[in-house]
Each structure stands twice: as structure tokens, then as C-alpha cells.
Structure 1
Amino acid sequence: MREATSIPLLQKLESLVMAHYIHDIVSKFRNTNILLIGDIILDHYAFGSVDRISPESPIQILDVSRDEYRLGGASNVANNMVALGATVTISGVIGNDENGNMLRKALREQNINDALFVDNDRPTTVKTRMIAQGQHLLRVDREKKDFLSAQLNAKMEQYVVDNIDKYDVVVISDYAKGVLSAQLCQKIIDIARKNDKPTLIGPKGDDWSLYKNATLISANRKETQIIVGFPLNSMEDVKKAGQHLLEKLGIKVAVITLGPQGIFVATQEQQIHIKADAQEVFDVTGAGDTVLSLLSLCTAVQCSWKRAISLANIAAGIVVGKVGASTVTPEDLYAKAIYSENTHLRKLKTLPEVIVELELFRNQGRTIVFTNGCFDILHPGHIRYLEYCRNRGDMLIIGLNSDASISRLKGPERPVIKEKDRGEMLAALSSVDYVVIFEEDTPTKLIESLQPDVLVKGADWKGKEVAGAKFIESYGGSVEFYPYQEGYSTTNIISSINKK
């Protein structure tokens, strides 16, 4: 018996040690100041519906009902670093236009400092994605990829010269939109080296000579194969590629992300391969940006490469379990260390987190089902009800009444089980994809934010006013009722316990 109980105790101890080491590193990120230079993109999403063909030519007509604008390109790296507590200044180029103003506003809202320059001869880079009924119809790019004028190059270079002392690390995030010429890259790297500031690179393209003498380059397997000229089919190939990059580019550190195989790092002194954690992958978008962000911050706090790669690997494992280009927070990292085996806890989300993740599911045409309730003292009736809900579509979101909400609805003695514990029990069910706690008496605001395809309620709600039903039906969604089943009731369970 003693031997059996020691295993979970040892695992718990290891988790606590990992959490302490993560906290020790991440807490230092708040004191870092990072300069990020690169191509900034405004991502525009036009959502609507298609039910007509144009009389002018045989093409679909998109009736746009909603527009969204998000930061893209190099700013995703900035988002990741800010989310981890760093102070970040981003430098790049925008056009003298309304899109540039929108981009600047978005940077302010994300607490990213703006050191942008205006180019009157080019537009702000915008990618417009047109989406109807969850399907991408078309992407339209507005951009000019020509390299900057000598005057703008000089201004960006001078900014680095004048401000280099402020920053701990310089990060170059290249998306091949014309900002980062070989001349400008080499100038930035040279200025940083002369001032003992590390330079980390997120590369692009098939010529990496413009990044020569940087501190670190971080790239994925596919990008690296193009540069070294041979496939990376084995770890021996990966090691050979790492050494090739060190020698040809004069860099100190080569990092190669290997997807499910983890991350490999090569320096002149050592080679390290950190295997990826087993992780359900929803979306790999932005994983490379996450790795570059963590490596940059770990470099700023002078963390060892082994620890930096370990932390970057943990962060990448978290972000691929989210949907879309996502960020990782200190809380995500701590939770990963403490609850490494409890993957169901990742289903507990805030409303903003769920909204972001639902976007990709909608784009894939998945049917989103929503239900809500108190779920105080979970019983078999609840479980059967939730299985029914899940079978109405492709994924199920539960709106869970908060403790305060239940007390207002059912009296001060309720709930019996606190919201955190109720949420965890629901998240452990295979039928449940996400749990969101809401504070209001009804889930109307939550439904309006999530815009599910199907709302499910118990049959006892038939003929009554169901919160959010009219809203869902207004855009073609449906409201369904679960057949009433006798024999299970939280109120009856509480009454039975009290009698005993």
C-alpha cells in the first residue's frame, strides 16, 4: 500500500517543483523591456451570408453582417510577450490611411508600445478574409512588398541607435512584406551586438544571409529544410541541420521546432532535444510565434538554454491546444505544471477565450450547441441530458450559473457545490467541450456573445419564455427540448440528505 501511494505523491511533488521553477522564471518577465521589429499586418474578417448569385457574372454575393479587425503578422509575437508580463515596443511601417489608424488603436488596446513609421507610398498591409456559413470564400491582400526607401531605412535604423539602451533584447519577426531588407537587418544586428544586446530572429524566405551574426534563429522543420537543402527525416538530420546553421550564419543558437517531436536546440557547446508533451492539437497557428516569444523573454532574464527550451516547449504545447493564433499567460504555464495530468481543466474558459476558439470551429462548419444550468450536485439525469445535448451538434458549451447567481435564484443555502468544483466536474465529462461561468440570472448575454447554432433546454421549459431563444432563432438557429425524465432532482437529493 505504501508503495502504491508514493507514486501520485511523487508526481505531485514533481509538479510543484515544476510550478515553482516556472514561477521563478516567469515572475522576472515583468521587468523585461523588448524591442520587436517586423512586418505588422491588420487582419480583417468579413462575416456574412450567401444566398444569391450575381447577375453580372456567375459569382456569389456576400451580404456582410459583421466586420472584425485583429492584429496580425509580427504583432502576434508582441501579443504573446505582453500576455506574459513584458513591456514591448513594436517598430515597423504602416500606410498613411485609416487602416493604419485602426492598427495603432489595436496596439494601444493590447498595451503594445508604438514606434511605427508612416510610409506615404504604401498602404497598411491588410489581409481580408471573407467568410459565410463557416466557409472561407476568398482572401484579399492589400499590400506593397517593395523594400523601404533609403529615408525610411535610415529612420528605423536611427530609432534603434537612439533607443537601444532601453531594451534587454531585440526581436526581428520577418513576414517578407518589405520592411526587413538585408541592409536594415544587418544594421540592427550590428547595433545590438555593439551594445551587448541579444538579437533573436523569426525568419522568412529562402535566404537567411540577412540574419548573419544574430544571437538566435528559431524556425520550423519545413523552413529549415529549405535553407539547409536536405530533408530532416531523423534526429541525426536535425542535428546536422543545426550545426549547418551555426556555421553558415555565424549565430550562437539554432532552434528547430519539430511539431509532435518537440524542439531541438544547437549551440557551439551543446545539443538539446526536448520532446513534446502528449497534447490534443486543435490548431498549430501561432505556435512558432509562441516559441520565439518565450525564448526572447528567457534570454532577457538570462535563463539557461535548456530551461528556456523546456519552457518554450510547454508554452507551445498549450497554444496548440487552443484555436487560432493564441497567447499563453503565466496562469496557463502554472496550470500546465500543476495539472499536467488533468487535461479536462483546459475546458474551463472565460467568455473571451471561448469566443476566439469558436471562430475556427465556425469556419470549419461545425455545429455549436449551448445549454445552461446550475448543475449543483451532479447526478445521472444531468449526465444523460448533456449527452443528449452533445448529440445535437459537433461541440457542446455549458453556461454555468455562478455561486452568486444561484443564491439569488434558489436562496442563500445554495449552491451546495461551489462554482469552481461544479465546473471541474462538468469539464471531466466527455460530452462537454467548454464550460463558461456567468454571473447574470439568465444566460441571455452569454448566448448573444457565443451565437450558438442550437440551444437545448429541458422539456419543462416548453411553452415558457426561454432566455436567448428569440435571438438564436433570429439568425436561423434552433431551440430543442430534452424529453423530461423523472427520478432525478438536485432539490430532492438535498431534501433526502436533510431528512437523514
Structure 2
Amino acid sequence: MRPLVVVGDAMLDVDLEGTAERLCPEAPVPVVDVERQWRRAGGAGLAAVLAARSTSEVVLVAALGEDAPGRALTGLLGREVEVVPLPLRGGTVCKTRVRSGGQTLLRLDSGDGVATAVPLDARVESVLRSAGAVLVADYGRGVARHPGMRRLLSELAPGVPIVWDPHPRGPNPVDGVRLATPNEAEARHFAPGYTDAAELAKILRGEWAAAGVAVTAGSGGAVLADGQNCSTVPVSRAARSSRGFPGDTCGAGDRFAAAAAAALLDGASTPEAVSAAVDAAARFVVAGGASALSTCDTETSGSRACPDRSGSAFELAARVRDRGGRLVATGGCFDLLHPGHISLLRQARALGDALVVCLNSDDSVRRLKGPARPIVPERDRARLLTELSSVDAVTVFDEDSPVAVLDRLRPDVWVKGGDYTDADLPESEVVHRHGGEIVLIPMVSGYSTSRLVAAAHAGA
């Protein structure tokens, strides 16, 4: 398959997370005692990382700086996607949120970097011409305005699906994009005088000469103007079943655009791509938003958000409840850890103050997967999981389902990966009975233990 190429303005996002239990004596503002610092790729960088959750090969073309934030950003991106840099003039843009209790109290923006207008080099042109689909993640920092980039995208548009996520400080999309994805506020900026989402979608489709325009409306889904039709694309019932509590909406627009581009790359129609994108964005918000993709740089010892790992999972659960924290649990065989597992565990941990993994015992795995499994014994699987920074404790169970262990743990959140619905899970009743909620997180496509085992046998 040809790659999904993401083009746009990358930046560094930082979350300073702590507790706010008193006011500053000089002014009526909260004092935040910082406990942890998280970093992640932002802007087009976040869009590329999210696209990598939906398709196997992603290339990011973005302007990157040589300063300390730029080097940090390049390092974060290099773990997830192939990066083709453009020159940046000025300092790397860094957006820092100060957060407490799941709420953003303040955002600090720094950096004046913009993409330069020097001619595109041969590598950039080659990457774009090899694309199976293109996502333009415009953050108003010059990449989408680059004359050479616009000429090349205009040339590609008739034959390559292009998704354009616009920005109020950026230019209009080039003519002929397959789908433009403004949110309601952005759409009103580009079409002043209109407020109805359907009208906005139709007006912008004409002004931009786009095949389709989807105006996103948060929990209301999206309104798609496609051809002569204009329709509302709601969040599906399966995705709504996991929307049990308010989530962090940071990055939801990037998740929508990335999922739409990946669906078009796979051959979906525009309505099918928008429907997939609506559900992907809804699940993303519930799973913790962009925060779930962050890397923890620092932790303050004794932080309430980082429980003591000593003792059993049930002792940990009691300590978290005593402190008024939020206990998250997930479960599975975790036989041969792979990137899909790591992504699930990282997103699950971001939903609360501690994560317990309920691990199928060897006997349980054999009954579920057959006599040749597990590959890795339960003791070693448990040890590998506890070495991960996202996992606070592991408990092993012998039954075919974790119902009994969940009855003891009583988690606030139970996380499952894959295309389940709440009704499909035998553990739903016990989780809900104890006042917990269920969050469904799609697994990273292309990874499964069974596939790894089959590939190993094929290569033997």
C-alpha cells in the first residue's frame, strides 16, 4: 500500500500536571503544585502520530527547528512516523497547558517559527508523488501557504485523495481536495454571515471547489456536503456507549482528519470516511484525547497520581480509593507484547490515577487460544507488564473472563480494546454494578499476537 503523507505545521505540546488546593496570596488565582510534565507532538505532528494508529505507513512533511524544543519534537516524531523535514525560520512553536483535576487552567504559547518559502527539495516532491492519500494539517505556520507545496498539491488533487484540515490563519484549500474538515468555528471564519452547519458546508464546498466539506460539531458528529447531498453524520451508538464522562477534546480535530484520510487511503467513499472519522474522534476523546499520547518526562516523588507499586493489585486499589483517586483496569492475555498493547495501556493509564492489568493465566489462555498458547508464561508476562511505566499493578486470573476479579477490584473505569460494544462484554454487569464505566479503545491496526506467531512460523 502507498503511504499516507501528512503535510503541515508541527509543534511541541507540553502538559504541566499537578494539584491546585490553594489560592495565590497576591491574586485570586490557583497555585498549581506541578507533579508531572508530559510532552507530545502537536499540530501536524499529532495528526501524523494519530494517522499511524489507522494505517501502517505514515510520512510527515513538516518544518522543524534546530532548537531544543525542535530536537525534542523530532525525537518524539521519529518513534512513530517517518519524518521529512522542511526548513523553519524562527523558534519551534511550543504550547504548554497547565492542568489540574483533568481541567486546563492556563495555556502558554511560545515560539515564532514559520516555514520558509525556499523551493521544495527532491525528497519532499518524491514523497508526495508516492502518496496514496495526503492529509494537510494546517496550523497557520506557512507550510500550507508555501507556493511550491500548493502547486504540487493542486497537481496531485485529481488523482490522489487529499484531506485538508484548515486553520483560520492559513489559506483556503487548493482546488479539488476530496474532503475539507473545518470545525464550526473555523467554518464560520471562512464563511462569515452563516451559522448553520449545513449552510456552511454547502457554501464552503462551492468556494473551495472541494468534492466534499465536513463541518465537525463535537458530540453532534459532522455535517457533510458531498455532491448534491448534505447530511448529518452522527456518532454511532457503539461509540456513544463509551462516552460515559467528559473527555479531553484536545486533538479531536486531528483524529477526525487523520481517520478520514486513512479511510480514503483504504478505498472508502467520502461518506464512509466521514462516518469512520466521527466515531474515531468520539472514541479518542473518551480515551483521554491527546494526553493519552504523551510521554512523561518528570514525576514528583510522593505524587498522588503515581501510586506506590508495592503490594497487591487489591491493596493498590484500596489506596487509590482512600486518596479519592480514579482506578482504571484493563485485561487480556498480553502474550508477546506489541505496539498495539503499548498504545492501549498508555491510553488506559491516562484515564485515571492508577492502572491495574487483569492478566489471563496460562490455563485460561490455553482454553481461549488453544494448546500452543501462551508463548510466554504468565509469570514472565506479568513481569514484562509491571516494567511498563503505564502499568501500576498486575493480577492474574484463571477463569475465562475477569468477572470475579473485577468484583473484587471495583474499578472506576474498565478499558477494552477492539471493536466491542458494551453489550458484548460479559464483565459489563459487574463493572456497572459497582458504579464503574466502560471505555472502548480501538487497537492499533496491523498488530496482533496471532499475526506475529503466524509470521514467525512462515519465516521458519
How many pairs align? 349
Q: 1:257 to 1:164 in 2, by over 3 A?
A: same
Task: Write the deviation string for residues 40-82 of structure 1: whole angstroms up to 9, x where unpaired.
Answer: 011234567899999xx99999987754432111111111111
Normalised TM-score (structure 1): 0.58
Q: Which moved more, 1:262-271 or 1:247-256?
A: 262-271
Aligned to 1:297: 262
Q: Which runs of 5+ in 2 are unaligned?
A: 330-355, 362-377, 383-395, 417-460
Question: Shift of residue 239 of structure 1?
Answer: 2.5
Question: Shift of residue 118 of structure 1?
Answer: 3.3
Aligned to 1:311: 276
Question: Shift of residue 231 of structure 1?
Answer: 4.8
Question: Shift of residue 95 of structure 1?
Answer: 1.8
Map 1:239-388; keep pairs closer than 5 Å: 239-277=198-236, 278=240, 279-280=243-244, 281-325=246-290, 373=312
Cα distance in 2 for partners of 1:249, 1:435 equals 41
Whether 1:433 and 2:398 are equivalent positions in the alignment is: no
Aligned to 1:86: 56
- Identity percentage of aligned residues: 20
Asked if structure 1 preserves the Cα contact closer than 8 Å seen for 2:166 and 2:173, the reply is: no
Asked if structure 2 preserves the Cα contact closer than 8 Å seen for 1:369 and 1:396, the reply is: no
Asked if structure 1 preserves the Cα contact closer than 8 Å seen for 2:3 and 2:131, the reply is: yes
Whether 1:205 and 2:205 are equivalent positions in the alignment is: no
Cα distance in 1 for partners of 2:65, 2:266 equals 35
Q: 1:289 to 1:423 in 2, by over 3 A?
A: farther
Question: Shift of residue 319 of structure 1?
Answer: 1.0
Cα distance in 2 for partners of 1:426, 1:262 equals 37
Normalised TM-score (structure 2): 0.62
Asked if structure 1 preserves the Cα contact closer than 8 Å seen for 2:328 and 2:412, the reply is: yes
Asked if structure 2 preserves the Cα contact closer than 8 Å seen for 1:124 and 1:143, the reply is: yes
Q: 1:242 to 1:366 in 2, by over 3 A?
A: farther
Question: Shift of residue 296 of structure 1?
Answer: 0.6
2:110 to 142, 150, 158: 142
Q: Which moved more, 1:96-105 or 1:316-325?
A: 96-105
1:191 to 152, 155, 160: 155
Whether 1:395 and 2:326 are equivalent positions in the alignment is: yes
Whether 1:161 and 2:120 are equivalent positions in the alignment is: no
Cα distance in 2 for partners of 1:72, 1:168 equals 23
Question: Shift of residue 175 of structure 1?
Answer: 0.9
Cα distance in 1 for partners of 2:269, 2:381 equals 50
Aligned to 2:137: 173
What amino acid does structure 2 have at the position aligned with 1:150? Answer: A
Map 1:70-109; keep pairs closer than 5 Å: 70-109=40-79
Q: 1:230 to 1:35 in 2, by over 3 A?
A: same
Q: 1:77 to 1:306 in 2, by over 3 A?
A: same
2:178 to 215, 225, 228: 215
Aligned Cα RMSD in Å? 4.6
Whether 1:117 and 2:76 are equivalent positions in the alignment is: no
Question: Shift of residue 145 of structure 1?
Answer: 5.0
Question: Shift of residue 308 of structure 1?
Answer: 1.7
Whether 1:225 and 2:194 are equivalent positions in the alignment is: no
Q: Which moved more, 1:270-279 or 1:388-397?
A: 388-397
Q: Which has the higher helix share?
A: 1
Question: Shift of residue 401 of structure 1?
Answer: 5.9
Cα distance in 1 for partners of 2:91, 2:381 equals 55
Task: Write the deviation string for residues 229-252 of structure 1: whole angstroms up to 9, x where unpaired.
Answer: 2454xxxx3332222112111111
Asked if structure 1 preserves the Cα contact closer than 8 Å seen for 2:91 and 2:113, the reply is: no
Question: Shift of residue 374 of structure 1?
Answer: 6.6
Asked if structure 2 preserves the Cα contact closer than 8 Å seen for 1:323 and 1:356, the reply is: no
Task: Write the deviation string for residues 325-383 of structure 1: whole angstroms up to 9, x where unpaired.
Answer: 16xxxxxxxxxxxxxxxxxxxxxxxxxx6x96999xx9xx99898997577xxxxxx9x
Question: Shift of residue 298 of structure 1?
Answer: 1.5
Q: 1:239 to 1:423 in 2, by over 3 A?
A: farther
Q: Which runs of 5+ in 1 are unaligned?
A: 1-30, 327-352, 376-381, 409-413, 437-500
Describe the SS at the equivalent of 1:255: strand
Q: 1:275 to 1:425 in 2, by over 3 A?
A: farther
Q: Which moved more, 1:206-215 or 1:303-312?
A: 206-215
Whether 1:44 and 2:3 are equivalent positions in the alignment is: no
Q: 1:369 to 1:397 in 2, by over 3 A?
A: farther
Cα distance in 2 for partners of 1:46, 1:267 equals 41
Asked if structure 1 preserves the Cα contact closer than 8 Å seen for 2:84 and 2:124, the reply is: no
Q: 1:228 to 1:207 in 2, by over 3 A?
A: farther
Asked if structure 1 preserves the Cα contact closer than 8 Å seen for 2:154 and 2:175, the reply is: no
Cα distance in 2 for partners of 1:264, 1:386 equals 43
Cα distance in 1 for partners of 2:137, 2:279 equals 21
Cα distance in 1 for partners of 2:162, 2:22 equals 52
Describe the SS at the equivalent of 1:284: coil
Cα distance in 2 for partners of 1:368, 1:187 equals 50
Task: Write the deviation string for residues 126-172 of structure 1: whole angstroms up to 9, x where unpaired.
Answer: 224456898867644332255x4432xx126x544333331111211
Q: 1:165 to 1:418 in 2, by over 3 A?
A: same
Asked if structure 2 preserves the Cα contact closer than 8 Å seen for 1:46 and 1:68, the reply is: yes
Cα distance in 2 for partners of 1:249, 1:401 equals 51
Asked if structure 1 preserves the Cα contact closer than 8 Å seen for 2:136 and 2:164, the reply is: yes
Q: 1:216 to 1:160 in 2, by over 3 A?
A: farther
Question: Shift of residue 318 of structure 1?
Answer: 0.9
Cα distance in 1 for partners of 2:381, 2:56 equals 40
